[in-house]
A and B are shown apart, each in its own frame.
Chain A
Amino acid sequence: MSDEKEISEQTGTSAVVNHAESSVMGFTDKDCPSLKELKKTAMTVRRHIINMIAEAESGHPGGSLSAVEIVSSLYFKVLRHRPLEPGWPDRDRFILSKGHAAPLLYAVLAESGYLPVEELATLRKFGSRLQGHTDSTRLPGVECSSGSLGQGLSFGIGVALAGRLNNKDYRVFVLMGGGECDEGQVWEAAMAAAHYGLDNLVGVIDHNELQIDGLNREIMNIEPLADKWRAFGWEVVEIDGHDFVQILDAFENAKQTKGQPTMVIARTVKGKGVSFMENRVEFHGKAPNRDQAAKALEELDREAKCLN
Chain B
Amino acid sequence: MSELASTREAYGKTLVELGGQYPHLVVLDADLSQSTMTHYFAKHFPDRFFNCGVAEQNMMGIAAGLASSGKIVFASTFAVFATARCFDQLRMSIAQPSLNVKVVATHGGLSVGADGFSHQAIEDVSLACSLPGFTVVVPADAAEAERVVRLAAETHGPFYIRLSRPVTPQVPHNGQGFVLGRATTLQDGSDVTIITNGLMVTRALAAAETLSGQGIECRVLNMATIKPMDEEAVRLAAKETGAIVTVEEHLQQGGMGSRVAQLVVEHHPVPMAFVTVRDVYTHSGTPDELLQEHGLTSSGIEKAVWTVLRKKRS
Contacts and interface: CB of A to CB of B under 8 A. Distances in A.
Interface size bucket, B side?
A: 20 to 34
Given A148-B92, A154-B65, A157-B65, A165 B48 contact: yes
B70 A185 contact: no
A142 B170 CA distance: 47
Given A144-B93, A155-B64, A196-B50, 17 more contacts: A1-B99, A1-B100, A137-B98, A144-B65, A144-B97, A145-B92, A148-B92, A155-B68, A157-B62, A157-B65, A159-B65, A162-B71, A163-B69, A166-B69, A185-B55, A192-B53, A192-B58
Interface of A: 1-4, 89, 135-137, 143-148, 150-163, 165-166, 184-185, 188-189, 191-192, 195-196
9 contacts: A1-B70, A3-B69, A89-B70, A152-B61, A157-B61, A158-B68, A161-B65, A185-B61, A188-B57
Contacts of B48: 165
B85 to A, nearest CB: 11
B67 interface: yes
Nearest to B93: A151
Contacts of A188: 52-53, 55, 57-58
A195 B60 CA distance: 17
Given A144-B64, A144-B68, A161 B92 contact: no
B54 to A, nearest CB: 9
Contacts of B52: 188, 192
B18 to A, nearest CB: 16
Nearest to A147: B92
Interface in B274-291: none
A150 B47 CA distance: 27
B89 A159 contact: no
B97 A189 contact: no
Contact of A162 (B60, B61, B70, B99): B70
A4 B62 CA distance: 21
B88 interface: yes
Query: Is chain A's binding surface mostly helix, strand, loop or mixed?
Result: helix
B58 A185 contact: yes
B124 to A, nearest CB: 20
B65 A155 contact: yes
Contacts of B26: 161, 165
Given A1-B156, A145-B96, A153-B61, A158 B89 contact: no
Contacts of B55: 185, 188, 191-192
Given A137-B96, A137-B97, A145-B97, A154 B61 contact: yes
Contact of B70 (A2, A151, A152): A2
B97 A154 contact: no
A168 to B, nearest CB: 9
B68 A159 contact: yes
Contacts of B100: 1
B110 interface: no
B156 to A, nearest CB: 7
B127 interface: no
A151 B66 contact: no
Contacts of A156: 65
A184 B58 CA distance: 9
Nearest to A2: B70
Nearest to A159: B65
B50 A161 contact: yes
A185 B89 contact: yes
A185 B57 contact: yes
A162 B57 contact: no
A172 B159 CA distance: 27
B92 A159 contact: no
B69 to A, nearest CB: 3
Contacts of A136: 68, 97
Of all A-B residue pairs in the complex, the 3 with the closest CB atoms, nearest first, are A158-B65, A154-B61, A162-B69
Among A2, A135, A143, A185, chain B packs the most CB atoms within 10 A around the CB of: A185
B234 to A, nearest CB: 31
Contact of A189 (B58, B63, B88): B58
Interface in B26-41: 26
A151 B67 contact: no
Contacts of A148: 88, 91-92
Contacts of B60: 154
Contacts of A157: 58, 61-62, 65
Contacts of B53: 188, 191-192, 195
A156 B68 CA distance: 10
A162 B156 contact: no
Interface string B78-103: 00000000001101110011111000
B64 A158 contact: yes
A89 B64 CA distance: 16
Contacts of B71: 162, 165
Among B26, B65, B96, chain A packs the most CB atoms within 10 A around the CB of: B65
Nearest to B23: A165
A162 B64 CA distance: 11
